Structure 1
């Protein structure tokens, strides 16, 4: 036989690699080390909490009466804006990408406009959206959509364009229609790239929500950061930043878990190619 064993030299058959036993604690170790470095910097250089609070100062800020409920309310407001905007950008970006990948003339006409819109600094659009749409949730959601939309379109189009020619010929030989080919062949093959777009867009959605809230300080963690900075409550501002980081990381790894659950074959293919 040509292939005598699928196990690489030095590996034990049926036993997981040693590094996998460290896969779970490694993120905790990384977080602990960074928190320790943060605390050491503030302690060694005796930095005032007004400029750089230590982790203990941030925890003390959380313990103040009523602070937990206040941050929970602001976090839920930011989460609402993030999820609504991200969902619209995800679905709309997918539909637009399919249309652009299907009709080349539409792509040539629309892509320069999309690139130009994406090149506009979104921070400059935020005040204008408030003028156009008011002080409610609408301008915040629109800003999130504008930030997340283009990465979703580009990633989905890249995935649709990467379908092997052999699969297209197979679908044609089975007399599949254009939309059957999309549903059965091109979209499933494009799913890994689509998930790349989702993972890129989720942190951008949180950033867009915060940018909108800083320009429209009525609700959300962005407004909490603005108010805390104005009142020189730097530990509270850092606490809001920590919450935003946790929220963004949680959404990111939720999509990673969904990708691993839906696309186990994608990891197998990439492993074989490696």
Structure 2
């Protein structure tokens, strides 16, 4: 039989070939590692090489590493407690923020009534609530979760409300042309179109959750990383306090990267429909 295409006999069609497995590009790991090396080298140069800062202000990286390994039996359990508080508070603020954002997007009257109040709560420095939280909710996990919630919920509310109220006009017109109900339009059009914007708010809120957990631990009796920072700083162990700060930073990077991975897996169409950088 004569072949209709110019491909050689026995060659498989391009469309029939099995898709190749996604591979991790070396730059995804290599570039962050290279940036980390540059940062540590600059840190060493400022502290040990040129002696621009005293050890009490910023200990050299080798001293921080030595303190981290020496007190790992204290800092690692503290890291787990802070990570758990960060995740729990982030999930609470994410759920509440999405629900509040949906309510603001559903009714202009609700938005006009409560949007100024939300802006006012977000504008107040959260550290001012610290001593009051201990009186209001007591010791333990409650002040930490409350502080994380106060820091995180506003970006999620704003991104959710913005995403749901900026549905592309062609998609909204298509839903109306198909006589879709309100629920069908919300579930099939508005919510999927708003998900990229919602994830923007979630990624802004994730580092804020770590900040809120540390601030909350300043006013709590739970020995997380924030608690350890205060304790070691109070007794003059500045390198160990900085080791706890470094662990907070590393925890935030890992949580943010995990959230970005979830976004890529949950929204595969975003990369295909947007311009590449």
Give the alignment's TM-score, normalised by structure 1: 0.87
Tell whether 2:49 aligns with 1:44.
Answer: yes
User: Which residue pairs with 1:208 in the alignment?
Assistant: 212
Counterpart-to-counterpart distance in 2, 1:170 and 1:124: 49
Counterpart-to-counterpart distance in 1, 2:85 and 2:131: 17
Counterpart-to-counterpart distance in 1, 2:125 and 2:222: 22
Counterpart-to-counterpart distance in 2, 1:106 and 1:50: 51
Q: How does 1:108-119 map to 2 (within 5 A)?
A: 108-119=112-123
Counterpart-to-counterpart distance in 2, 1:231 and 1:178: 61
User: Which residue pairs with 1:71 in the alignment?
Assistant: 75
Counterpart-to-counterpart distance in 2, 1:142 and 1:114: 15
Counterpart-to-counterpart distance in 2, 1:168 and 1:22: 39
Matched residues, number: 252
1:172 aligned to 152, 171, 176, which one? 176
User: Which residue pairs with 2:39 in the alignment?
Assistant: 34
User: Which residue pairs with 1:9 in the alignment?
Assistant: none
Moved more, 46-55 or 168-177: 46-55
Tell whether 2:64 aligns with 1:58.
Answer: yes
User: Which residue pairs with 1:25 in the alignment?
Assistant: 30
> 1:146-187 deviations in whole A, cap 9, x for unaligned?
110110000111111221122112212222221221111101
Give the alignment's TM-score, normalised by structure 2: 0.87
Superposition RMSD in Å = 1.6
User: Which residue pairs with 2:256 in the alignment?
Assistant: 252
Counterpart-to-counterpart distance in 2, 1:45 and 1:58: 18
Which 5+ residue runs of structure 2 have no aligned equivalent? 1-24
* Aligned-partner SS, 1:232: coil
Q: How does 1:97-176 map to 2 (within 5 A)?
A: 97-176=101-180
2:192 aligned to 179, 188, 192, which one? 188
The offset of 1:78, in angstroms, is 0.9
Tell whether 2:240 aligns with 1:243.
Answer: no
Contact 1:199 1:252 in 2 (8 A): yes
Counterpart-to-counterpart distance in 2, 1:176 and 1:39: 62
Counterpart-to-counterpart distance in 2, 1:259 and 1:39: 36
Moved more, 260-269 or 24-33: 260-269
